[in-house]
Amino acid sequence: MAPDLDYNSIEAFHQKLANSRRILAVCGAGLSAASGLPTFRGAGGLWRNYRATDLATPEAFDRDPGLVWLFYGYRRHMALNAAPNPGHDALAALARTNSNFMCLSQNVDNLHLRANHPRYQLRLLHGSLFDIKCTNTNCTHLERNNTADPFFPAIAAASQDQSPSEPGIIPLLDPSHPLPPITRDDIPRCPACREGLQRPGVVWFGEQLDAAMMADVNNWISREPVDIVLVIGTSSIVYPAAGIAERARTKGTTSVVTVNLEAETPDLLDEMSPGDFYFAGDATELLPRLLEPVIGRI
């Protein structure tokens, strides 16, 4: 199929928005890119010489928990030092003005909540960098919102911004600087079961998303047709997030509205349906403009 001719017209989108009640957003790392947090794929996707996606697995943690904790310690440090951007602000403002708006985010950086996005209109599909869980699968320990930086002393290198001897260089990011040795004994044990190691409360590749949360998301989608799905700053290749817009379509007439830095390709246009929109550009700049008739000027 092909989209309407005005698929990238902000005015045409504003008309659609004026006639829409139920709105869903599916957000990815591109939303936080302007806050200075790297995305997973494309430029910035490497950490030292590792692909970020190779460190985000239970097997990687099992093999070298110190290395994986350094990676997450660094991401916690970066997220704590980043600020929400006008894209997060626009979504939070939409939530406050429309109780029929639900935001699903794959981002674990806590920036939605720091932008005062109402918690009950937000589902963090992949957990949070600031939640701490236990590796023991029989243990349900979960600590919320732990912002200690570093989380434990052995990963202090992850919280270092610049080398005192080489200003401008973050030693942890330079593969020629050796990593501090971290043994299993350096990693804090679970305070509840005292058996497992504490680990980041994020969903790793190969792990299931929280079943109760996904049931709740599916109920929200099934309850009534969804007028608009905003697909913001995501490469849409990781499921189930990548399948949510199409699932919403099966329940009624839904406009899928993509906001992505990458320009639309002929293939992408082919996959779009009448009523869909594609806005190529920075989500930070586009979201306030797209939502302005409802949220006012940010």
Size of the site for ligand APR (CB under 6 A): 22
Per CB under 6 A, does 29 bind ligand APR? Answer: yes
The distance of closest approach from Cβ of residue 38 to ligand APR in the complex, given in angstroms and rounded to an integer, is: 8
Binding residues: 134, 139, 190, 193
Show the CA angle centred on residue 68, arms to residues 155 and 150, nearest 5°.
25
Per CB under 6 A, does 53 bind ligand APR? Answer: yes
Alpha-helical regions (H) of 21-117: 30-33, 52-55, 58-63, 65-81, 86-97, 111-114
Binding residues for Zn(2+): 134, 139, 190, 193
Half-sphere exposure of 215 (CA within 13 A, CB side): 3
Q: With CB under 6 A as the contact rule, which of the stretches 15-23, 25-33, 131-139, 172-180 interacts with ligand APR?
A: 25-33
| Contact by Cβ (8 Å): 274, 35 | no
Name the packing angle between helices 10-18 and 283-295 (round to 10°): 40
The distance of closest approach from Cβ of residue 241 to ligand APR in the complex, given in angstroms and rounded to an integer, is: 7
Q: Of the listed 14, 112, 126, 177, which one is catalytic? A: 126
Question: Residue 172: exposed, middle, or buried by beta-carbon count in 10 A (0-12, 13-18, 19+)?
Answer: buried
126 catalytic, yes or no?
yes
Per CB under 6 A, does 41 bind ligand APR? Answer: yes
CB atoms within 10 A of CB 92: 23
Among 20, 35, 159, 234, contact with ligand APR (rule: CB under 6 A)? 234
The distance of closest approach from Cβ of residue 191 to ligand APR in the complex, given in angstroms and rounded to an integer, is: 26
Which is nearer to ligand APR, 17 or 31 (by Cβ)? Answer: 31
Gap between the Cα atoms of 181 and 256, Å rounded = 48
Per CB under 6 A, does 114 bind ligand APR? Answer: no
DSSP state at residue 189: B
Name the packing angle between helices 86-97 and 283-295 (round to 10°): 20
Which residue has the closest beta carbon to ligand APR? 30
Catalytic residue numbers, as ranges: 126
- Residues interacting with ligand APR, by CB under 6 A? 28-30, 33-34, 39-41, 53, 56, 106, 126, 233-235, 238, 259-262, 282-283
